[in-house]
């Protein structure tokens, strides 16, 4: 299965990069993974709603350039469906069975994700009511993807 992670913002810190590389390595046995970073918009302390929406639109434009017509788009969204690891494993199996050319996971920036992307989503997935920094959200996503695949395949997961 082809999997793309499309995330707003750049990961710079060595410890996040090491964690991402570890899960990329683990996932390489199961999926063809590509990671994409798109430029994030500057977010001043005080930002009007109109400016926020404009920033979200620009980020969405960049994300959409990386999406393909046959993608199953999974948007990470605080308002999305919350799943246990077993529930995610079943959802992943269901997504695989739908015949998408690729699953594309979208992680927004500090302002979130534009409604246009939410409407395009095959699925909206929430890691819970907390807000995560985009770097940590990427690590959690890869870990849950790996865990879900292992559960689906009946393989042990203990790390």
pLDDT of residue 110: 87
Please give the backbone phi and psi of residue 12, each rounded to the nearest 5 degrees, phi first. Answer: -115, -30
pLDDT of residue 157: 77
- Please tell me the distance from the alpha carbon of residue 133 to that of residue 109, in angstroms, as a whole number: 8
Q: Nearest-5° angle of CA 28, CA 30, CA 36?
A: 55
Instruction: List strands edge to edge, sheet with 102-107.
Output: 32-38, 2-8, 102-107, 71-82, 123-126
- The answer to whether residue 70 sits within a structural domain is yes
The answer to whether the CB of 113 falls within 8 A of the CB of 56 is yes
- Please tell me the distance from the alpha carbon of residue 134 to that of residue 10, in angstroms, as a whole number: 9
- Please tell me the distance from the alpha carbon of residue 64 to that of residue 116, in angstroms, as a whole number: 10
- The pTM of this model reads 0.95
- pLDDT tens digits for the chain (159 residues)? 999 999 999 999 999 999 999 999 999 999 999 999 999 998 888 889 999 999 999 999 999 999 999 999 999 999 999 999 999 999 999 999 999 999 999 999 988 999 999 999 999 999 999 988 989 999 999 999 999 999 999 998 765
Please give the backbone phi and psi of residue 100, each rounded to the nearest 5 degrees, phi first. Answer: -65, 145
- The answer to whether residue 157 sits within a structural domain is no
Q: By residue range, what is the domain housing residue 96?
A: 2-43+53-152
CATH number, domain of 136, equals 3.40.1280.10
**Assigned token pair, 144:** 């849950």
- Sign, CA torsion 67/119/98/92: positive
- The answer to whether residue 27 sits within a structural domain is yes
Q: How many domains are there within the chain?
A: 1
Which residues does the annotation place in the binding site? 76, 108, 127-132
Residues contacting 58, CB < 8 A, separation 6+: 41
pLDDT of residue 47: 87
- The answer to whether residue 143 sits within a structural domain is yes
- The answer to whether residue 158 sits within a structural domain is no
- The answer to whether residue 14 sits within a structural domain is yes
pLDDT of residue 158: 64
- The answer to whether residue 75 sits within a structural domain is yes
Q: Nearest-5° angle of CA 38, CA 43, CA 48?
A: 125
- Please tell me the distance from the alpha carbon of residue 65 to that of residue 135, in angstroms, as a whole number: 21
Which residues does the annotation place in the binding site for S-adenosyl-L-methionine? 76, 108, 127-132
């Amino acid at each position: 299965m082809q999997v793309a992670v499309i995330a707003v913002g750049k990961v710079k810190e060595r410890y996040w990069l090491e964690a991402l590389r570890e899960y990329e390595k683990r996932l390489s046995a199961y999926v063809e993974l590509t990671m994409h970073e798109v430029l994030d918009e500057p977010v001043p302390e005080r930002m009007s709603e109109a400016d926020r929406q404009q920033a979200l639109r620009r980020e969405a434009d960049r994300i959409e350039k990386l999406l393909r017509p046959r993608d199953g788009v999974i948007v990470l969204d605080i308002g999305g469906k919350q799943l246990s690891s077993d529930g995610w494993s079943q959802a992943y199996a269901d997504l695989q069975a739908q015949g998408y050319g690729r699953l594309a996971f979208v992680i927004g920036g500090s302002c979130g994700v534009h409604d246009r992307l939410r409407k395009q989503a095959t699925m909206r997935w929430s890691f819970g009511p907390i807000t995560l920094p985009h770097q940590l959200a990427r690590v959690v996503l890869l870990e849950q993807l790996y865990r879900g695949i292992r559960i689906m395949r009946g393989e042990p997961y203990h790390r």
